[in-house]
Amino acid sequence: MQIDICGLEPLDRNVSFVGVGERCNVAGSRKFLRLISEGSYEEALDIARRQVQDGALVLDINMDDGLLDARREMVHFLHLIGSEPDICRVPMMIDSSDWNVISEALKCVQGKSIVNSISLKEGEETFLAHAREVRRMGAAVVVMAFDEEGQATTYERRIDICARAYRLLVDTVGMPAEDIIFDPNVLSVATGMAEHDAYAWDFLRTVEWIKANLPGAHISGGISNLSFSFRGNNYIREAMHAVFLYEGMRRGMDFAIVNPSAKVAYADIPQEHLTIIEDVLLRPSAQASEALIELASTLSAQSEKSTAKDKKSVSADDAHAMSLEERLAYKLQKGTADRLEEDICEALSLYPRAVDIIEGPLMEGMNRVGRLFGEGKMFLPQVVKTARTMKRAVQILQPHIEAQKAEGQKSQGKVLLATVKGDVHDIGKNIVSVVMGCNGYEVMDLGVMVPPEDIVRAALEYKPDAIGLSGLITPSLAEMTETVRQLSEAGVSVPVMIGGATTSALHTALKIAPVYGGPVLWIKDASQNCPRLAPFLNPQTADEAMHALRLEQEELGRSFEPAPLASLEEARERKPRFY
């Protein structure tokens, strides 16, 4: 391993692969976030210690959360680690989206650490300034495959950005090539969207290209992103990670942010499972993704010890014997349009308006899918298939809606989507766009890195019924707050949906909702946008939905308030007595 990084001890140059422990990351571990939020630092240190004991050669430390003082928590935790020789013997990876956090953290670590990360997303001037500071502080650096246009998702964009960054770092900054670690973006596969199928294969091709063309540079990646579609099935996720790591290491990948205590090893995977996973990663196709979805569903059913009736597939005749509402919900859940037109025709004879079918049994079916996804009993690609079935149902109903000439009911509404300024992540937003489009919404997508004034301008011109703000990194939370503040000042009060990996119901209630005049909804995942938004767009339920939302957010705010201090008299009464 041609890289000189160290904690109290240098990294062994004889190792060919460096596993970076991922559990000291508040964005990726709910337990770690809870411990830091509560000030339970000894338990948080135990998580770091266990990762080193389990074989992590580097520890990733991330304190980016909207409700934490990230700089203070990073500095404090690194100082604590510095007093624990069994932890600080390994190098630290300082992980933050906020450059101020990184620069402060670099003053606190012993040895030579790794900065995670810098990128070209803000242009060459900022990139070079950050790179020079990293070099001055004596650290190695992770370089993300982002540029001014956004996140690289194709093989061609990945190699172009990595080549450009390499030349700037080596030729302009004078950074040793062995101090450069490229992260060409590990992205989720088998999402149900064809354009995502090749993400893993393109990453692996990029690894080979970097090793052949950018001498001395290393390659890393956040492996858990790969399997996000299968959240809730740990075996499938860990098996995918194991195969991906095996294939990546064969091609020259020498770093990865992983869970060192993962239980599924490459050698443990049965051949029939291995073949299915290899097809998804190395021979991507819609058929490969479907096979993996089927395997994950089968294993989930077995792990829950489902009854024989639950395990038995439901035939078309069985489905047709259900009630109309059950049939529609079943077909949405399975993502099938078989005999859907017959069911819609039957529904038209029972419901007074065609739009009532959308707002009634179809939306109830979507709500069921959302609950199952949240419980880990359905996977992202299945949700996308559900959305496409919903789109087909809406297409069947559309002529009837138009024939009834119900004003304003030609669509579910207009939605404006944007990834906020400073953030180039848009894959989750794109999935939201697909799901909402399939549910009858007209969607205008402003793209990534959209400043507040552009969102306000578009809202005033487009006059949407709702606005969706997306962001993956912690600085995006402040941008969302500023955006809704400017929207409110401009007189906009339509529902605003907040989504992204670092967002939360608590942060939305405490920081974003108070500066906006209309409803601000935190959306956990793409399946929830439509059912969460619908009550606020229906005049008959909007007031009740707003009242319930305010109560919910007020309760969240109270739960975050610190306990009141005891009075002086109480404190004196409760003083310790040692006699």
Q: Where are the domains of the chain?
A: 18-296, 313-403, 413-560
| Two tokens, residue 227 | 């399997």
What is the model's pLDDT at position 308?
Answer: 40
Q: How does DSSP classify residue 110?
A: S
The single-letter code of the amino acid at 13 is R
pLDDT for 516 equals 97
Euclidean distance between CA atoms 189 and 68, whole angstroms: 31
Catalytic residue among 29, 224, 476, 504: 476
Report the C-alpha gap between 227 and 243 in whole angstroms.
12
Positive/negative CA dihedral, 263, 266, 270, 274 = positive
pLDDT 10s digits, 273-316: 999 999 999 999 999 999 999 999 888 877 665 434 444 445 55
Cβ-in-10-Å burial (0-12, 13-18, 19+) of 116 comes to buried
Burial class (CB in 10 A: 0-12, 13-18, 19+), 281: buried
Cα 229 to Cα 231: distance, rounded to the nearest angstrom: 6
Burial of 171: CB neighbours in 10 Å, binned 0-12, 13-18, 19+ = exposed
The residue among 214, 217, 151 whose CA lies nearest residue 182 is 217
CATH 3.40.50.280 is the classification of domain 413-560? yes
3 state SS of 257: strand
Is 423 a catalytic site residue? yes
pTM equals: 0.76
Q: Which two tokens stand for residue 228?
A: 């996000």
Degrees, nearest 5: CA angle 426-430-431 = 125
Please give the CATH architecture assigned to the domain spanning 313-403: Orthogonal Bundle (1.10)
Peptide bond into 97 cis (omega under 30): no
Sheet holding 496-499, edge to edge: 441-445, 413-419, 466-470, 496-499, 520-522
Active site residue 318: no
CATH topology for 18-296 is TIM Barrel (3.20.20)
Strands (E), 364-473: 413-419, 441-445, 466-470
pLDDT tens per residue across span 371-392: 777 666 777 677 777 878 888 8
443: number of Cβ within 10 Å: 18
**Ranges of residues in the chain whose predicted pLDDT is under 70:** 303-320, 374-376, 380, 404-411, 562-563, 579
pLDDT of res. 188: 93
The catalytic position among 425, 465, 504, 507 is: 425
Known active-site residue 315: no
Residue 369: predicted pLDDT: 81
Whole-angstrom Cα distance, residue 371 to residue 195?
26
pLDDT of res. 310 = 43
Q: Which of 197, 423, 426, 525 is catalytic?
A: 423
Nearest in space to 469 (alpha carbons), one of 448, 430, 499: 499
- CA-angle at 30, arms to 27 and 33, nearest 5°: 70
